[in-house]
Chain A
Amino acid sequence: MVKVHSWGRLGDFDHQMIPLSDRHLIAAQLRSGVAGLAFGMGRSYGDVCLNPGGVLWKTTALDRFIQFDETSGRLQCEAGLLLRDVQRLIVPRGWMLPVVPGTQLATLGGALANDVHGKNHHVAGSFGDHVIEIVLMRTDGSRSILHPGDARFAATIGGLGLTGVITELTLQLKRINSPWLHVETQPYQNLTTFFDLADAAEAQWEHTVSWIDCVAGNGRGIFMRANHSDAQQAVPKSSRQWRMPFVPPVSLVNAFTLQPFNQLYYQLKKKQATALQYYEDFFHPLDHLLEWNRMYGPRGFFQYQCVLPRAHGREGVQAMLKQISHAGEGSFLAVLKTFGERSSVGMLSFAQPGVTLALDFTNQGEKTHKLFASLDDIVRDARGRLYPAKDARMPRELFEAGYPRLQEFLSHRDPGISSAMSRRLMGS
């Protein structure tokens, strides 16, 4: 038994760790008799990647490339490869992953199982939109090859690892001329301006995202938009990576630091600016600080990420910011972003048209859960939903209300696979 925690560090749980490293042996390894779950880098925040008391099939040694057609941009590889390692191979050859989340220290399989999105959702949709083929191993020993259009394909994209173990996938990559992005930042004073900026940017900018000051309460923030450039500059020397060396006895994100940090960040960034940024710095700034999740102290933290349909977007976000600021909680890096008008492939995919808000909260027990309950009410009223990849606590009825294709999904589950989240939200 090995102790494992997820990115939120809410607890250490005993698991039996079985490494998958040879894709030809996996069928036998999955027939262990005990319910298991594929586990990659453990970068999801809550309990979607945990299976306390059970088996975790560790996928990070399934990290081989299988085939790469540099003419068409089709890449076939094993599912345990890190996004980072894929990027570092393909970017110098003029290709890029079409969708990347905030960290590139996640596996391809994890990105697929959570159907992650990036700053370019309005243009490119989510990760699953670029998957051409999936090899799925089930615990009954069967191996199936899934394609867009198959029901099981739609169940597996964003399927939280519950339909089988994803061992291989084929992606359609995106052509780039340069690894550099042309980035513009623009401050905004309130949510109305944010939505105006976001809507105006969508037609001309491939990437949009914003940082929002969750303490000020008025909805001010910094809007960022970027396009791929043609700049032919030397690749920067890989910038220094820092590591949060230990878990501080109390969370560094607390009542004393929240206000000054948010104030400082806003003041530093509020100048309208344009810059050329290397893709790793633009997409994954937090990867420079390894194990930053330790910052939240011994009790760990929650991330709360919701999407609200646009009809209720502005009022909903405003109401949530008010609740958060009223509770005196919140995070350094709150993110606000609009999603494009497109539906996702997966039955349980998170991204849908609307606006998404994501914030970290130090785990303060009862107090934090009370705040979440009030945020849940706003999400429920707005007919929004929460992101399973981030979640450790949403009520089952909110999950069921937010994911109307749940019943259809359940018929595709692999009975030999279970997670803490599936037991919490699906009953098994």
Chain B
Amino acid sequence: MGRQRIIIIGATSAIAEHCARVWAQQPSDFVLVGRDHYRLESVAADLRVRSPQSSAQAIVMDFSDPVAIAGLAMQTAVEGHVDIVLIAHGNLPVQADCQQDVTLTRQALEINGLSPVLFAEAFAGQMEKAGSGTLAIIGSVAGDRGRKTNYVYGAAKALIDRYAQGLQHRFAGKRVKIVLIKPGPTATPMTAHLPPRGLASANEVAHRIVEAVAAGQAVVYAPARWWLIMMIIRHLPRVVFNRLNI
């Protein structure tokens, strides 16, 4: 495989950063998009040391501005063929806080649901024009069934789920691949307050994402065991589910 051009939205998130490290094992050209200049620059510098033959360009932008998002997709397409787009940004809101303050609820829905969808739509359009490319979006197992402990986050991720399904339908049989990744709880700064047992490592999740992207798989749970766990949780009858404290 030749040199790949990879665009990562939310490149400072732990999972995205680890994906970049795996991709950088082959010389690649990265466009790293984030909200914080310093963090983005430190990720870019790290990639340059790990892979001196790779290039890493950092772009800081507003993740809620549809005009900027469309502009980014257009600009990167003009600059050259895009092989992979990974949309990885998000944050884990505290459910109780969202219940207290609907401003936080709105922010959580925007950053975890609306914003990734806008990016995906903009890049999907460019890939359609180019005729190929792989668009990977990070959803979550939390989007598979609403739970009292994090349904605001879950609802945003469920939006991504249904949206990716639609994109997959749209591109069925085409050379544009849409990959939906659903990580289980992963050991990242976002989950530091949780007990470490049972958390997958960001590195492990990243390897699975990179494999899935290479294969153009439609839906991937990471680690794989979450497929089974969520299948059971999705199918639990409501009377049983509502008794669970999860």
Chain A residues at the B interface, C-beta cutoff of 8 Å: 2-3, 17-19, 21-24, 58, 61, 64-68, 70, 77, 89
Contact = CB atoms under 8 A, between A and B. Distances in A.
A38 to B, nearest CB: 14
B193 A64 contact: no
- Of listed B49, B189, B193, residue having the most chain A CB within 10 A: B49
B43 interface: yes
Given A22-B39, A24-B39, A89-B50, A67 B192 contact: no
B135 interface: no
B200 to A, nearest CB: 15
Contact of B45 (A19, A66, A89): A66
A359 B35 CA distance: 50
16 contacts: A17-B192, A21-B189, A22-B39, A24-B36, A58-B192, A61-B188, A64-B42, A64-B43, A64-B46, A65-B46, A66-B42, A66-B46, A66-B49, A67-B49, A77-B49, A89-B49
A24 B38 CA distance: 7
Nearest to B38: A24
A17 B42 CA distance: 23
B173 interface: no
B14 interface: yes
Contacts of A64: 42-43, 45-46
B11 to A, nearest CB: 12
Contacts of B50: 65, 89
Contacts of A58: 192
Nearest to A89: B50
Nearest to B12: A22
B238 to A, nearest CB: 33
B49 A19 contact: no
A21 B189 CA distance: 7
A23 B42 contact: yes
A258 B88 CA distance: 52
Nearest to A23: B42
Contacts of B36: 22, 24
Interface size, B (range)? 10 to 19
Interface of A is mostly: strand
Given A24-B39, A66-B45, A68-B49, A2 B196 contact: yes
Nearest 3 CB-CB pairings of A with B? A65-B49, A64-B46, A19-B192
A61 B42 contact: no
A381 B188 CA distance: 49
B195 interface: yes
Interface in B34-67: 36, 38-39, 42-43, 45-46, 49-50, 52
- Of listed B12, B52, B192, residue having the most chain A CB within 10 A: B192
Contacts of A77: 49
Nearest to B44: A64
B14 to A, nearest CB: 7
A420 B221 CA distance: 41
- Of listed A21, A23, A58, residue having the most chain B CB within 10 A: A21
Contacts of B43: 64
A234 to B, nearest CB: 18
B196 A67 contact: no
Given A24-B39, A70-B52, A89-B50, 8 more contacts: A21-B14, A21-B189, A22-B38, A23-B42, A24-B42, A64-B43, A65-B46, A65-B49
A111 to B, nearest CB: 19
Given A19-B189, A19-B192, A58-B192, A65 B38 contact: no
A3 B195 contact: yes
A2 B195 contact: yes
A88 to B, nearest CB: 10
A405 to B, nearest CB: 35
A189 to B, nearest CB: 47
Given A66-B46, A67-B45, A17 B193 contact: yes
A61 B189 contact: yes
B45 A65 contact: yes
Contacts of A66: 42, 45-46, 49
Nearest to A22: B39
A21 B38 CA distance: 12
Nearest to B39: A22
Contacts of A17: 192-193
B47 to A, nearest CB: 9
Interface string B2-14: 0000000000101
A182 to B, nearest CB: 30
A262 B52 CA distance: 47
Nearest to B37: A24
A242 B177 CA distance: 37
A77 B49 CA distance: 10
Contacts of A23: 42
Nearest to B43: A64
- Of listed A18, A23, A65, A67, residue having the most chain B CB within 10 A: A65
Interface string B195-219: 1100000000000000000000000
Nearest to B192: A19
A415 to B, nearest CB: 25
A77 B50 CA distance: 11
B14 A61 contact: yes
Interface in B119-163: none
Nearest to A2: B195
A89 B36 CA distance: 27
Contacts of A61: 14, 188-189
Contacts of A2: 195-196
Contacts of B14: 21, 61
A105 to B, nearest CB: 13
B162 to A, nearest CB: 31
Nearest to B201: A60
Contacts of A22: 12, 36, 38-39, 42
Interface in B12-43: 12, 14, 36, 38-39, 42-43
